[in-house]
Structure 1
Amino acid sequence: MDFDLNLPKFLADNFEFTINGVKPTTFYLGSTTPVAANPGQLEVQVKLFGLIPVRHMTVSVVPEIRVIPGGQAIGVMVESEGVMVVGRSAIVDEKGIRHNPAAEAGVELGDVLIKVNGQKVETESQVRDIINKLGQDGKSLDMELRDRHSKEIYKTRIKPIYCNETKRYRIGLFVRDSTAGVGTMTFFDPQTKSYGALGHIISDIDTCQPINLDRGKIVAARIEGIRIGRKGQPGEKMGVFRGENDISGTITKNTNCGIFGKLNKAPKNIYGNGTVPVAMAGEVKEGPAEIYTVLKGDKIEKFKIQIEQVNPHSTEGKGMIIKIVDQRLLQKTGGIIQGMSGSPIIQDGKLVGAVTHVFINDPSRGYGVLAEWMLYDSGVLPKHVSERNYAEFGAMTNIAC
């Protein structure tokens, strides 16, 4: 462990360090004091001339975490809590009059419908049938929804209208109960059976609102084709789900740093039987690195990148700015493409992060999330070790991959 005080040597020579009340038997005088320590809490005291207290710090020492690096293509299936409002439309009744009762009641895109007349709703078909039945009975709907902005529950009453086009009662909403897509696994922890993938939150494709996870699973996927990315037109991997023979697991968390859960069995490690250490945020540096990802079938390949900037204290999805420098990858994909999210980034033999976003105006560049943040959200590393500050992402000229 290093303490970097950024002091000139003539000052550092006059400082005394104590750890848990004991002066280290060995340390370097100067800007950095290396201290060997066991995992746990350390009380560090710094005094000038051994008398004047200068700084007191409580430091959490993190044990080395070792994981199996990912790179596998995975199919992701997520079901939300309730059903998300993804569209609104006018209803034309039998007299040709247009109505939009949901819009008039203040229901907005991205709101989540949780209950109708006290009954929890989980699927699109369930909501459709309830609305039609209550409409036939001449009854109104007492609806409970979660506001897309405040995340608070609000209630509203809506009376269904008979739609002359569909021949059933409607309230003027389109809803979605699930989403699916292809991504990449980042790591697997053999000790806890936990995995991390994607490196970013799963949001609804129409509303761009984060999905409130109810349940989900991942399975193995096979990449069948590539749509090359270009400036202003992000590319994508085109894949098919292979089922649960090779990879299968639950999704229990959907966070700014990715999706997390448990695997039923350890994935194959194509790089040998060993694990690799995970780099803490302070260890990641600018310079060359590699990503592991699949471009065809289920074959994981290595490609060269450059870590251009490291922001260890920034919001989770912007921990790194990366650039694809591997000419073969650029030729095949044009750069970072959708479906590449979660591709592990390896530097100096350590897992340092995962690919997350692409810059729309420059597909060769994008963001990476730091592996340390993924470890916290996965539960592999206790959150009390860090004082992370969660923040909403502002407007970004990039998209999730």
Structure 2
Amino acid sequence: MKETIKKGTLILCGLLIAIGVAGKVLPQEGNPAAAPVVAEKVLVPGGQSVGVKMDVRGVLIVGLEEIEGKNGEKVNPGLLSGLQIGDIIMEINGTEVYRAEEVQSLVNEARDTVKLKVKRNQRIFTVSISPVESGEDGLYKLGIWVKDKTAGIGTLTYYDPSNSTFGALGHGIVDPETNSILSVEAGVLLQSQVQEVSEGKNGDPGEIRGIFYHTSDPLGKLEKNNGFGVFGTAYDPIENPLYEKPIAVGTRDQVELGRAYILSTLSDNEIKRFEIEIEKIEEQDSPEDKSMVIRVTDEELLEESGGIVQGMSGSPIIQNDRIIGAVTHVFLKDPQRGYGIFIEWMLEESNLVEK
């Protein structure tokens, strides 16, 4: 009998320790001796159309071309040195580079072999290149095309009132020519006003077209861009008129097949709730995109946009009064269907909050 009681005590202690580690433990009201309750994470759902404007850290190589020298010979110094489209030039001869025009200036200043600090994926290395004096304009060139800024329209996913952070898009901003995730040097989240919605059709995903406004008064600063969204810190609290209070986060094991809702802003520039169906849920034990397959069933949304269109990425997915994820992609051949990502992965990959 004593042995049985001892085992039961050990199991109970282990359970209490697990609860303590999992989250903040709060006593139940009116009964201090009652079992503890784990505080839930809460967020303000987004749904607002937002503009994302950011400077790229370093300059991104988006093209390689041959340069015709003064002797008439055509050569591509960048290609010969091993540079690739998608590489990011961080430094030239020890000077940090932030603007495309700085590349031309530093190369012409050197007029001789230059050393480039280059980032490719997660690897950083140094390359030495001898520029060619162009027979066309006399400038010294490396045979590369570079860019340093990007901007676009998307949807805010959430605002976290506990630490003033936000997440949007549900996927990273990539360079359309290289499909590379762009590194953030500086950037802002802006208010956006929808001007037009082009309907999605088979083979054409459609698009929300909008303009940035109040550019001198941004919503927040961008701090991170990765495969799970763009993240940063808001300057002031962000509210959603559909929700008086923040709502609980739904973990991936709480996501169910069946009815749910997305929050998006279309041509009337108001956040609206649209009905969807969750058709498939992927089993994921670590952060991945494409966590679930969703289908738009809301007649109003289907009539106006044909389903999911570009610019709706980041629209929060709500189920059972919890924010469970965000819209990420549309099926090119079926705009009524698309992918969503678990909100857990966005929060974890933001690296702006405690895990």
Tell me if both proteins adopt one fold, taking TM over 0.5 as the criterion: yes
Match of 2:354 among 382, 395, 400: 382
Shift of residue 360, structure 1, vs aligned partner: 1.5
1:77 equivalenced with 2:64 (yes/no): no
Query: 2:110 corresponds to which letter in structure 1?
Result: L
CA change 1:70–1:103 in 2 (3 A) is same
The one of 327, 345, 366 aligned to 2:317: 345
Residue in 1 aligned with 2:83? 107
- Please give the alpha-carbon distance, in whole angstroms, between the structure 2 residues aligned to 1:170 and 1:19: 75
The CA deviation string for residues 372-394 of structure 1, in whole angstroms up to 9 with x for no partner, is 112223357633xxxxxxxxxxx
Q: Tell me how far 1:341 sits from its aligned partner.
A: 0.6
Counterpart check, 1:320 vs 2:329: no
Aligned residue in 1 for 2:116: 143
Question: Would the alpha carbon gap of residues 19 and 70 (structure 1) be closer, same or farther in structure 2, given more than 3 Å must change?
Answer: farther
In 2, Cα distance between equivalents of 1:162 and 1:64 = 63
Query: After the TM superposition, which residues 1-400 of structure 1 pair with which residues of structure 2 at under 5 Å, given as runs?
Result: 21-22=11-12, 40-41=20-21, 63-135=39-111, 139-148=112-121, 151-244=122-215, 248-296=219-267, 298-313=269-284, 315-379=287-351, 382-383=354-355
Aligned-partner SS, 1:41: helix
Q: Offset of 1:104 from its aligned partner?
A: 0.7
SS in 1 for 2:125: strand
> Separation in 1 of the partners of 2:19 and 2:187?
34
Displacement of 1:147 after TM fit? Answer: 2.1
Write the distance in 1 (CA, Å) between the matches of 2:114 and 2:351: 40
Q: CA deviation at 1:253?
A: 1.6
Q: Which moved more, 1:367-376 or 1:105-114?
A: 367-376
- How far apart, in 2, do the equivalents of 1:18 and 1:87 lie? 67
- Normalised TM-score (structure 1): 0.78
Q: C-alpha separation between the residues in 1 aligned to 2:183 and 2:13?
A: 50
Larger deviation, residues 346-355 vs 88-97: 88-97
C-alpha separation between the residues in 1 aligned to 2:92 and 2:204? 40
Query: Greater CA deviation, 77-86 or 156-165?
Result: 156-165
Whole-Å separation in 2 of the counterparts to 1:160 and 1:380: 41
Q: Closer, same or farther in 2 for the Cα pair 1:287/1:147, shift >3 Å?
A: same
1:341-389 deviation line (CA, Å, top 9, x unaligned): 1001111111111000111121111110111112223357633xxxxxx
TM-align CA RMSD: 2.4
Is the contact made by 1:221 and 1:298 (CA closer than 8 Å) also made in structure 2? no
**SS in structure 2 at match of 1:188:** strand
Q: What are the Cα deviations for residues 15-52 of structure 1, in whole angstroms up to 9, with x where unaligned?
A: x996864279xxxxxxxxxx99995227xxxxxxxxxx
Amino acid at match of 2:309: I
**One-letter amino acid matched to 1:93:** G
Given the superposition, is the C-alpha separation of residues 80 and 20 from structure 1 closer, same or farther in structure 2, using an over 3 Å criterion?
farther
Asked whether the equivalents of residues 220 and 245 of structure 1 are also in contact (C-alpha less than 8 Å), the reply is: no
Q: Distance in 2 between matches of 1:293 and 1:361?
A: 22
Aligned length: 335
Compare 372-381 and 110-119 and name the one that shifted more.
372-381
> Which stretch shows the higher mean deviation, 348-357 or 232-241?
232-241
The answer to whether the 8 A contact 1:78-1:213 is kept is: yes
Supply the distance in 2 between the matched residues of 1:360 and 1:311 (Cα, whole angstroms): 20
Q: Secondary structure at the match of 2:313?
A: coil
Structure 2: gaps (5+ residues): 1-5, 23-36
* Aligned sequence identity (%): 35
Deviation of 1:312 after TM superposition, in Å, equals 4.2
Following superposition, the deviation at residue 186 of structure 1 comes to: 0.6
After TM superposition, give the deviation of residue 255 of structure 1 in Å.
Answer: 2.3
Distance in 2, matches of 1:36 and 1:194, equals: 31
Alignment partner of 1:318: what SS? coil
